[in-house]
Every structure is written in C-alpha cells, then in structure tokens.
Structure 1
Amino acid sequence: MAELERLLKEPEGENLEFKKAANKFGTDELTKYCVALANEGGGRIVFGVTDRRPRKVTATTAFAQPEEVRKTVLDRLKIPIHFDVIEHPDGRVVVFTVASRPTGVLLQYDGQFWDRQGDALVGMELTSGRAREITAELGADFSASVVDRLTIADLDPQAIENFQNEWIEFTGKEGLRSLTAEQVLRDVEAVTDEGVTYAGLILFGKRAAIRKHLAQSEIVFEYRSSEAAGPAAQRENLTDAFFNLHDRIWELVNLRNDQQPYQDELAIRNVPTFDERAVREGVLNAVCHRHYQMAGNIFLRQYPDQLVIESPGGFLPEITPENILNRQSPRNRRVAEILQLCGLVERSGQGVDLMYERSIRQSKPHPDFSGSDENTVVLRLSGRMLDPSFVRFLGTYVPAKLDELGTDDWLALSQIAGEQTLSSSLQQRVDNLLSRGLIERIGGGRFILPRIYYQFHGRESTYNRLREREQLKERVEEILEGFRLDGRLIGDIHEEMPTLERKTLRRLLQELQDEERVHSEGENRWTRYFPGPTSQEGE
C-alpha cells in the first residue's frame, strides 16, 4: 500500500505507466506495454488509476486471473514479470512489474519493437538512434568481460589440459606442451591481468564455479521417442567446463544413432541418421552465439530421426534464418576465438555452411531455423535420408574433388537434384558444376544430374527424354566449332542433320543464341551462324 501511494505521486515516464482500465484490458496490449517498458530498462504498469496528477484510484476489474495473464506474457517475452493485486480503500489496483531487457537485445512482439511516445505505443525502427544504442551494447564482448571474484583456482585443470591437447593436435606445435596451465589461459585470453573472463568460466570453469556465477550456461540433453508431451526417456544436465563435456554430448547422441542402409550394386552401405560433424557444429554454434545474460539453458532434444537445439537470445537484429549462411555476427567473440584455436570452430563463420554441406551430401533436409523467434534460436537437424540414389551418385566421385566444392555449389547441386529451377543467386555456380561433370544442360537454362544418377534411380528413360533436345543443340555446336571464321548457313547445318525438320533447327539455333552459346551475322537467308557468344573478328 505504501509503495502504491508513492507511485501515485510519481510522474509518468519511460518506466511508469498508468491505466484506468475500469473493466478490461487486452493481454496483447499488455504484452506490448511490457515490451516497451523492458526496452527502456524495465518498469511498472498500474491498472485502476487515472493517468494524470493528482491521480486517483478508480478501481479495475481487469485481469481476474492475473497469474494466468502473467504466465502468458512471460511465455511470450522470456523476461521476469511479476504482479501485485492491491485492495485499496477506493478499489482494486493491479500492478505489473517488468524486468529490463537483456543487454544488447531489443525485444519485440507481433512483429514490432515496441516503444512509448507519450501515451502511445509506437514501433521502433531498427535504424533509429535508440535501437542502434541498444544493439551496440553488444559491441563490448560479454565473454571477454571479467567475472567478479573468480580466480584461476576456480578453473578445472582437466578442461585446460583437454584444450591444450586439442590445440597441439590441430596446430602440430609440440612446443605448446611446455606451457603451464596459467600460460595457456593467458595466451588465449581466457585470463587477463584484470581476472578470469566469462569465456574462461564457460570453457574451463569447475562445476561449482559455473553454478555460482553462470548457472544458465548448463546444457540439457533429452532423448524423446516422440514429440508428445511428457517426461523424456533420458535427461542429462551437463554442468561443466565445455572442454570437459563436448565429447560427452556426441556420445549421448550417438547412443541412439540408427544407420540407414542403401544398396550400392552388391554392397549394402549405411548413412548415419545423425552426422557427427553436423551435430558438433550445431552445438558449437549454440555455445558461441547464445545470450549468456538471458535466463535459460541450451537444450538438445533428440528424437529418433531429428535433433532440435534451442539456445537463448534469438538472432541479432541483422541476422535472419534467410541470410544466416551469408552473414556472421559473433555474440561471444572470445569464446569463438578460443574454439577456433583448437580447430573446433571454423574461422570463416558459424559452421552453418558445414551443416548445410553435410545435410546435402547425405541427402537430408537442410538445417531448419524457421522455429526461431526474438528470444530463442531453434535449429532442427533432420536425420532422414531422402534420396539414396543421390548419395550413391556422389559416391562415384573422388571425395577430395567433392571437398573442393563451396557452399553455394552444394546448394545449387541440391536444387538441381530436386529438379527445381535454379535460383538466380546460384546461377554463377553452373560453370563450375558443369566442368566437374556433376550436372548437364537440358536447355532453357535448366540442368539435371548425369545419366548415372537416373540409372541408379531406375529413371533412365526420363534422362533420355530430358536430354534429347540438349543433345541436338550440342550437335549443332559441334558442327559450328570448325567454322569460327566463316560460320555456316542454316542450309549447311541442315545437310549435316538431315533427319531434323528445318523449323526445329531454327528453334534450336534461336535457343542457342538466347543462351549465348551461338551468335549470328547477316539477315534472312544469308544469316551465318558462329560458335560462341560473340564475334571472333579481330582476335
């Protein structure tokens, strides 16, 4: 009651809002106000009071079940929210208290980053000065900041030794073996002159220190036989230095890692449901990019044919599920740099590209981030092999040659294998795939896999049908190849292909010109055709 009396005298501002709400107030509207208050550092919204001074308690019947409303808003925003119901002499008052947003995180709801301007709620633009101030808070790497009252004695010697061994194995520098534990920690900047950093705690901390200073860095593994609600068949809470547990995580996944067989001539070969490199990259991605100042753990939920990894914090504003392959913005740079030193994290980015490559090579669905929102990044790795013939087709190539392909090459190959129209952003990868014999033209700017894939698939007749027109065009190119200076008239070409109707030959020549594989000079009956996209005169 005393606190309410004090609030009644306070000016309404960025951290305080009053609403009469005599009868009702929508939960969606309340959520927006909570977002706006949290974005300004937290505050209170008071219902049942006039908004102008001198304020009066007018009473409210809104929020008859405030605990249910609080739970709904809490589930939406994932930040602490509390309520008080005060029976004032003049009537019932309900007060919701909202915590601040996490450092560097701009909260949103219903597609808007809500802010308050006077009595109104407005959507904040990401380009606004205030939004830039908030997102810039992450410019100071949290993982590089020092943990108060944490010492080297709070770090686990076994975790340090594990890292040191992996560092030596990755670099081949045996001289690193002579370093003391403290020298190792200082060389990788897990420890500075100011003290032990959060990166040091996350990667090397003893269990007791982690529980005391950063309990939310725990990783929770669950195995579930289905997505039905209920207790997990197996659950393990992993609270330890990451360099003590990253192999354990793979061991847990691999316990139930079924093999998917496929026929390769007389041999039976297998593809594991869960690929080790893809799983490890997914875990590393979560450890490097989660928001450690937000409550909540990293969750790994394994099902018979998929693995779901959830990490707190959501994407940074400039990252989306659509551009995650091309944009990198590390949230915990010091953690990522230490993991890079021993080869666990690729220096080029987030390892998302490797997850895509591994899924395509094993003919599995692409990594799926579509379940993510502003509070949580959700990565779904499906283990189901879609097309054994594609895996068998790749097996006919030297593995080292396939390793030379870039991520865009794999994405283009995936679209072509799915008989999709190649997206414009991947068109530039066509020449590389053609030169390696991984794809063939079928005209009209379309491509297919080579004959052997269709043989494995039992669809050779489909290949012949798709390739028939392209083979005619290749024959025209072959005829023109010996006449780069003089070219050939359509009648000359027809003499070499007498079974082809002349009107069909004209269409083929037009298509070849459209594809810039042939060019012409002259008009009408005197038109001469030359190989290549442009005239060779003067060369």
Structure 2
Amino acid sequence: MITIEKLKKLKESEDKVEFKKGEGGNISYDGGLKLKPSDRRRCILGYVTALCNEGGGYLVIGMSDNYPHEVIGTKQNLDSTGELESKIYTDTGIRPLIYELYEDLKRVLVIEVPCRPSGKVFKFEDVPLMRVGEELKPMSDEVYLKIINEQEPDFSQQICDGLQISDLDSGAIAILKDKYSIKQNNPNFKTLSDEQLLSDLELLKKGKLTNAALILLAKKEVLNERLPQAAVMLEYRNSENQIPFDNRIEFDEPFFILIDELWNTINLRNGSFPIQEGAYIFNIPYFNEEVIRESINNAISHRDYRRSSEIVIKQFPLRLDIINAGGFPSGVTIENLIKTPSTPRNRLLAEILQKTGIVERSGQGVDKIFFNTLSEGKAEPDYSKSDYFNVYLKLSAIIEDRAFALFIDSIQNELPFDEKLSVLEIFTLNKIKNKTPKKDLDFEQVNQLLEKKLIEKRGMTNAVYYILSKDYYDFTDEKVQYYNLQEIDDNQVFTIILQYLSKEKKAKMKDFVGLFEDKLSRKQVRLRVDKLVNNKQLKQLGEGSSSIYEIGEKFINDIEVFSEVLSLGIKALEKQNGKRNETTKKRPKKGE
C-alpha cells in the first residue's frame, strides 16, 4: 500500500500513475452518456484498463495532477470502495486493490492496478487502450503485437544477484541431496560437494545462483529479505461462512523444508471416512496427502513471483482452498485443464522437483489431483474462481458418491498395472455418472470405456446416451435404477401412453415426447405412435402439429371382448364348481 508522501513525488508518465481531482466524486465509472469515444474512455474503467496494459500502476482521485501533487480530497465512491472493486473486476477481469488515504481529514482514493499477465491485452469497449500524454488512445499495432507475442520469462532460471552459497540452508541442501540420490538411484550423489550438486542441477550457473536456488534452498532470513512473497500462509477457519481466521501460520522456509512442515500441519486436522461394502473395506481421508502435496507443488511451480502476494491456503473442516498469484500458464484454460500438458511458469524450479522425485513428471500434477479426488467419490476439483491474476483451487473433503468410490476401487483392484484406468477415463466416468450431455463427452474415452464394459449404451440415433455398468448400481442401495434405464420396447411405450390417456383422455405429440424425454428421441416417439395408430390401438384426430390422440376403438373393442370372454369363463367356472358341490352333498356319508 502506497503512502500520500510517496504519491506526491511520483510523475504521471514515468511512474505509471494517473492523478484526478474529483472533489465532488464526479469521475465517471464507465463513460456515462458521453457520445465521443475519446471522451467515454476518460473514466475509471478506461484508466484501469490502460494502466494494466502498461504494467500496472495507480489511479489516484483526490490529488492535483500538477507536480508536486497537492491533496485536494474527494467524495468519489465514498462508503462504496468494496462495491467499486467488485464492479471493476466483474466488468474487466482486472482485480484492483482499492483503499483510502487521508491528510488533514482530506480523503484520497487510490485504485492500485496490477500488471497484466504476459501476452494478455485488456480492452475497454472492445478497444485495447494505452495512455498517451493526457489522453487514452487505442493501442498501436506495434505495441499490441509485441504484447500478444510475448514469451513469459522463466523467473526461476534468472540469476539472483548477490546470492551466495553461504546464504543457503544446509538442512535444505541435505534434503535435496538425499531425494536426488534416491530418485536417480545413485547413493554417490550424497557425497557430492554442495557446489557440484548445485551446478549439476543448474541451480548454479557460471558461479552465480538462480532464483530457483533462492526459493528451494535459501536460509529463512535470506528468503524473507529477498523474496518475501515466496511464503505460504495457512489459515484455519471452523466454518466455511467465517471471514476472520481462527489461526494463521506463516511458512517462510525454503521449499525443501517447508513442504513437509506444511503438510504435517494440515494433517493435524485431517480425518477420514470409513467405507465398507461386503469385501471392500477402506478409509478415505478428508484431505488426500498426494492431492494436497501436488496442489501445493503446482502453486509453487506455476505462481508468478513478480507479484507481491503469497500463496494462501484456507483450511476448513471439510474443504481446503489454495490461491496463488498468476493465472493459468499460456494455452491452459479451465475447460482443457486435464487435457493440455501445462508448461510451468518456472521451468527450472519444476525440473528440480521432478529430478528429486517431489513430482513424477512436470505437467502431471493436475492429473493426480483429479484422479485421486474423483476416485474417492468426491466433487470435481473446482477452479471456477480462477482468473487472469490468480489460480484458485477448491477441494472438498465430502464424499458425494460412496458407490462411485467403491466402483472405481473394485475396478482398479481387478485390472493389471498396465491396464488401470487413466485420469481421463475416470473423468469421463464421472461425467457419465452426472449425466453430462453427450456432446460434452470425449468420444475416444467413451469408446475405450465401452470396450472395457464399464459403461453401457442406451437409446438410438439422436437419443443415444450412456450409463455406468451394472457393477456401479450393485454398489448403490437403488439397484432398480439400472433396470429402469434399460432400453424401452414397444409394449412398454404403449403401456405408458395408455396410463397417460386413461387419466387425461387426450394428448398431443409433445405430451408423448415429454413422457419419454430421457429414453427416446422425438423421431423415435413419432414412429412408435404412428405404429400404434396404424394398428388402431390409438386414434388420431386432425393433421400435423394439431393432431390429437385418443385410445383407439380397436383397443377398446379388444378389451371389451377380452372382458366378456373373461366374464364368461368366470361364470362357467362358477357353474362347474356349483355342480361339483351339489354332487358332494348328494354323495352318501360313510357308514350310512
């Protein structure tokens, strides 16, 4: 948070700051009713967009723009700074920090705008803006192309000026050596000198240490001084609706010491759900260790260390959130998260984690997170609150589908190692379980699951859908659901239509389509109804879309004939029984 004294010394063009008087709070939010585009841009959203595009800065309201900048005071968004911050984020995707400063009771409103992500250009009314003197103008083609073609630099690979081997933590180095020797299956690595080890792992280049060495190995006090945002904050709350935390612990050690201490602290409040079904007995922890470690490793490997915020972990009794600075890596979105191999923002750091066995392979962390979470019958990992500036992961501890956990566990136990289900197969099984529309399924995975007989195909043509195999329903308390999902035949169609017409007397085609919405397409319903009309089991009144259907005369006659035959049969049976009883009465008793 900047101070008024610092603001007074800043220059607009050089220091990425825009000063506005706004005494009466009359700075337009979005251009208002102004007609000229150049006038509309000179608003809060316009300046926020332009400042973000040029690397971040400050929009200051309540100070003069003449140097040195005098405090004038403003009523701009008085008592509504939180609402302003929320509106800017909703309208632009830019998450500013908004706060108030005072000098002699004169109020200054500061909108602190973050730097845009690498390769990302923000727009106001579909126009990318840049500041040119006192004006906001459309970004030049040269600047625009330069930005969108940017390659994000590997911060972890850059040299950390002045960092010495003596600044590194000997305990962290010992852990690095131990894990590296185990992963590489070479005990001799433990005997390497510190300098040789660091050089082999490219943490030391031409006698100079990198930022990766700082993050992974530096002494606590050195790391705090040089890169305080490398810390991880763990906050615990007893309720998910609670805003203040009950406990907050800062982990500011080098990674190789931090990671175990952090997991052990989270695990202190961990529990488990016992799962049992016949021969299947196992416990599912609230927070799976592999999921949590991979999530933290991802945050550390992918976060943007140029931003000043720390990684924050919010732990609740049955939920855990992990928030780290920097959006998804280039090319990765929420939609393709588990299908697109990710490129770590800090490649050297990620490679060290791989070479030391902290992670199996760079870019597979999200796979493990989804694989383990879905296999345990929990909700899909939720990245929906992520944006261009933060990755926000929510992990639920609640088992939503116990039967699905048993289903996956039984399959994996039966399959040989090289045929076990992949994360994409489990992901697709989960989507089918949740009745995801056919168009949103990965058909390569669907075909593989059909071959393995783990799902079944139902319906025809446009009404095709998929269900999990009978094994899944064997683990549920409602096995009848499986049989309810069997393909429907003509007799069942007529029975359902007959039940409807017995109550409603008449129906239109749309009524019949609604009866079979989840089982038959409109075309399939029409074909069956036409067949029933041709067989005179249904009667059609009218043509086309105005047609009305009733129970057919043939069916009514057949029922009447059947009823009459049944009645005659019952009477004949009663008559026969009467004669038998008379004969029994007339027969002499024994001894007469």
* TM-score, with length taken from structure 1: 0.73
60, 75, 82: which is aligned to 1:63? Answer: 75
Residue equivalent to 2:182: 169
After superposition, where does 1:461-472 map in structure 2 within 5 Å?
Answer: 461-468=480-487
410, 418, 421: which is aligned to 2:437? Answer: 421
The CA deviation string for residues 247-292 of structure 1, in whole angstroms up to 9 with x for no partner, is 2222122212221123311665321111111111100110001111
SS in 2 for 1:457: coil
Residue equivalent to 1:222: 235
Shift of 1:146: 1.2
349, 352, 361: which is aligned to 2:375? Answer: 361
Shift of 1:346: 3.9
Shift of 1:393: 1.8
Please state if 1:396 is matched with 2:410.
Answer: yes
Please state if 1:412 is matched with 2:428.
Answer: yes
Shift of 1:354: 1.5
User: Given that residues 454 and 460 in structure 1 are in contact (C-alpha distance below 8 angstroms), is that contact kept between their aligned partners in structure 2?
Assistant: yes
User: Given that residues 412 and 421 in structure 2 are in contact (C-alpha distance below 8 angstroms), is that contact kept between their aligned partners in structure 1?
Assistant: no
The CA deviation string for residues 282-308 of structure 1, in whole angstroms up to 9 with x for no partner, is 001100011111111111111111110
After superposition, where does 1:348-387 map in structure 2 within 5 Å?
Answer: 348-387=362-401
Q: Which has the larger radius of gyration?
A: 2
Taking structure 1 as reference, are residues 332 and 456 closer, same or farther at Cα in structure 2, changes over 3 Å only? same
The CA deviation string for residues 183-219 of structure 1, in whole angstroms up to 9 with x for no partner, is 1111111111151111001011110110111011011
Please state if 1:237 is matched with 2:246.
Answer: no
448, 451, 454: which is aligned to 2:470? Answer: 451
Taking structure 1 as reference, are residues 78 and 147 closer, same or farther at Cα in structure 2, changes over 3 Å only? farther
Taking structure 1 as reference, are residues 5 and 279 closer, same or farther at Cα in structure 2, changes over 3 Å only? closer
User: Given that residues 354 and 361 in structure 2 are in contact (C-alpha distance below 8 angstroms), is that contact kept between their aligned partners in structure 1?
Assistant: yes
Shift of 1:342: 1.7
After superposition, where does 1:255-334 map in structure 2 within 5 Å?
Answer: 255-265=268-278, 268-316=281-329, 318-327=331-340, 328-334=342-348
Residue equivalent to 1:25: 27
C-alpha separation between the residues in 2 aligned to 1:137 and 1:401? 46
Taking structure 1 as reference, are residues 322 and 263 closer, same or farther at Cα in structure 2, changes over 3 Å only? same
Letter in 1 for 2:373: S
SS in 2 for 1:395: helix
C-alpha separation between the residues in 2 aligned to 1:251 and 1:273? 14
Shift of 1:95: 8.7
Shift of 1:369: 0.9
- 5+ unaligned residues in a row in structure 2: which ranges? 31-42, 492-523, 529-592
SS in 2 for 1:139: coil
Please state if 1:252 is matched with 2:268.
Answer: no
Shift of 1:181: 1.9
Residue equivalent to 1:534: none
Shift of 1:152: 0.6
Please state if 1:431 is matched with 2:433.
Answer: no
The CA deviation string for residues 87-112 of structure 1, in whole angstroms up to 9 with x for no partner, is 9xxxx996968677278475859897
C-alpha separation between the residues in 1 aligned to 2:279 and 2:449? 29
Taking structure 1 as reference, are residues 18 and 362 closer, same or farther at Cα in structure 2, changes over 3 Å only? closer
After superposition, where does 1:49-60 map in structure 2 within 5 Å?
Answer: none
Letter in 1 for 2:256: F
Taking structure 1 as reference, are residues 241 and 18 closer, same or farther at Cα in structure 2, changes over 3 Å only? closer
Letter in 1 for 2:197: V
User: Given that residues 108 and 374 in structure 1 are in contact (C-alpha distance below 8 angstroms), is that contact kept between their aligned partners in structure 2?
Assistant: no
SS in 2 for 1:413: helix
C-alpha separation between the residues in 1 aligned to 2:240 and 2:222? 34
SS in 1 for 2:314: strand
After superposition, where does 1:75-86 map in structure 2 within 5 Å?
Answer: none
SS in 1 for 2:296: helix
Letter in 1 for 2:485: L
Residue equivalent to 1:343: 357
- 5+ unaligned residues in a row in structure 1: which ranges? 473-503, 509-539
User: Given that residues 63 and 73 in structure 2 are in contact (C-alpha distance below 8 angstroms), is that contact kept between their aligned partners in structure 1?
Assistant: no
User: Given that residues 45 and 96 in structure 1 are in contact (C-alpha distance below 8 angstroms), is that contact kept between their aligned partners in structure 2?
Assistant: yes
Please state if 1:130 is matched with 2:143.
Answer: yes
Shift of 1:229: 3.7
Taking structure 1 as reference, are residues 215 and 135 closer, same or farther at Cα in structure 2, changes over 3 Å only? farther
User: Given that residues 222 and 236 in structure 1 are in contact (C-alpha distance below 8 angstroms), is that contact kept between their aligned partners in structure 2?
Assistant: yes
SS in 1 for 2:438: coil
Shift of 1:336: 0.6
Letter in 2 for 1:277: E
The CA deviation string for residues 140-186 of structure 1, in whole angstroms up to 9 with x for no partner, is 31111111211011111211221222222223223323322221111
After superposition, where does 1:103-118 map in structure 2 within 5 Å?
Answer: 104=118, 106=120, 115-116=129-130
After superposition, where does 1:158-197 map in structure 2 within 5 Å?
Answer: 158-197=171-210
SS in 2 for 1:434: helix
C-alpha separation between the residues in 1 aligned to 2:159 and 2:327? 24
Letter in 2 for 1:63: K
Residue equivalent to 1:528: none
Shift of 1:341: 0.7
C-alpha separation between the residues in 2 aligned to 1:222 and 1:4? 33
Please state if 1:37 is matched with 2:51.
Answer: yes
Tell me how large the CA RMSD over aligned residues is: 4.3
Residue equivalent to 1:513: none
C-alpha separation between the residues in 2 aligned to 1:401 and 1:44? 59
SS in 2 for 1:260: strand
Taking structure 1 as reference, are residues 414 and 4 closer, same or farther at Cα in structure 2, changes over 3 Å only? closer
Taking structure 1 as reference, are residues 179 and 136 closer, same or farther at Cα in structure 2, changes over 3 Å only? farther
Q: Percent identity?
A: 30
128, 139, 144: which is aligned to 2:152? Answer: 139
User: Given that residues 40 and 100 in structure 1 are in contact (C-alpha distance below 8 angstroms), is that contact kept between their aligned partners in structure 2?
Assistant: no
**How many residues are matched?**
463
User: Given that residues 432 and 468 in structure 2 are in contact (C-alpha distance below 8 angstroms), is that contact kept between their aligned partners in structure 1?
Assistant: yes
C-alpha separation between the residues in 2 aligned to 1:210 and 1:174? 29
SS in 2 for 1:397: helix
C-alpha separation between the residues in 2 aligned to 1:111 and 1:236? 43
C-alpha separation between the residues in 1 aligned to 2:252 and 2:5? 43
User: Given that residues 25 and 63 in structure 1 are in contact (C-alpha distance below 8 angstroms), is that contact kept between their aligned partners in structure 2?
Assistant: no
User: Given that residues 95 and 114 in structure 2 are in contact (C-alpha distance below 8 angstroms), is that contact kept between their aligned partners in structure 1?
Assistant: no
SS in 1 for 2:324: strand
